[in-house]
Amino acid sequence: MNEFLAPILHDIGLMARPALFNLYFAVASIPLGFLFAIFFALGKASPNRLISGFCRGYIYAFRGSPFFIQLFMFYSLALAFNLSLWKPWGIDWFVLNPLVLGPVILTLNTTAYTAEIFYGALMTVPKGEIEAARAYGMSGAQQFRSVIWPHLIRLAWPAYTNEVVFLFHATALIYFTLPVIGDQKDLMNIAGELFERDYNAVLHFSVAALYFLAISLAIFLVFGIVYRRLTRHMPGASRVRWSFSRL
């Protein structure tokens, strides 16, 4: 083992467990955010002014403000109700746990971003197909299941892939706000901790960056495979373009 690689491999070993915390936050919030986003996207497109106004406002507010501030706000909001609600009910250990509160706030955030992507896709679903479905006498739910949804998810998938990568990047912010309990540490915590030990910023931050980069690429790979499946009936090879930009 040469002198250059040894410290890098050592750091890679040390950061494997912290990387799981970042992965946990992402994995815990992605499915819920996906589910809620469908409702918010349909809500934004709703003819009911009240529903569409609410969904529009929610999406605008969460997309228009920094996730960092959202974390601070919801954490301090949860703290403010601690003495009056959580403590007497005996659920403060659960509500104020970063492993619960983190995914909750992430879900609130990604719901808005994903809903905007789904809404954009919903607006580009070919009108003729919906009319055809209606002409066949399909109910609203049937139209959604067999015509609108397959179109929507295929149109939205490349942008959604980017959103998932960004959501994973956003997990780096969680422990700057929420308390670090026991040996719960994410990649940013361990990078900072190792830096304070030997002041080697380049090594530790680069290895942490390597983890983020590798997991981001893995997300692109997996989502790319799903995209190929989603578009397997389409003419021409289609690939998710790797573009790393939150829309």
Chain contacts with another protein (rule: CB under 8 A) = 60-61, 63-70, 72-74, 76-77, 79-80, 165, 169-170, 172-173, 176, 188, 191-192, 195, 198-199, 201-202, 205, 208-209, 212-213, 216-217, 242-247
Choose between 202 and 237: whose C-beta lies nearer to another protein. Answer: 202
- ∠ CA 168-173-177 to the nearest 5 degrees? 145
Helix/strand/coil for 116? helix
| Cβ at position 155, least distance to another protein in Å | 18
| Cβ at position 18, least distance to another protein in Å | 13
Choose between 226 and 247: whose C-beta lies nearer to another protein. Answer: 247
Choose between 139 and 243: whose C-beta lies nearer to another protein. Answer: 243
Separate counts of helices (H) and strands (E) for the chain: 12, 0
- 8 A C-beta contact, residue 29 and residue 110: yes
Residue 70, both tokens? 């959202």
| Cβ at position 169, least distance to another protein in Å | 4
For the chain, what's the residue count? 247
- 8 A C-beta contact, residue 110 and residue 168: no
Choose between 70 and 114: whose C-beta lies nearer to another protein. Answer: 70
Choose between 121 and 159: whose C-beta lies nearer to another protein. Answer: 159
- 8 A C-beta contact, residue 202 and residue 3: no
| Cβ at position 196, least distance to another protein in Å | 10
Q: How far apart are CA 14 and CA 133, in angstroms?
A: 55
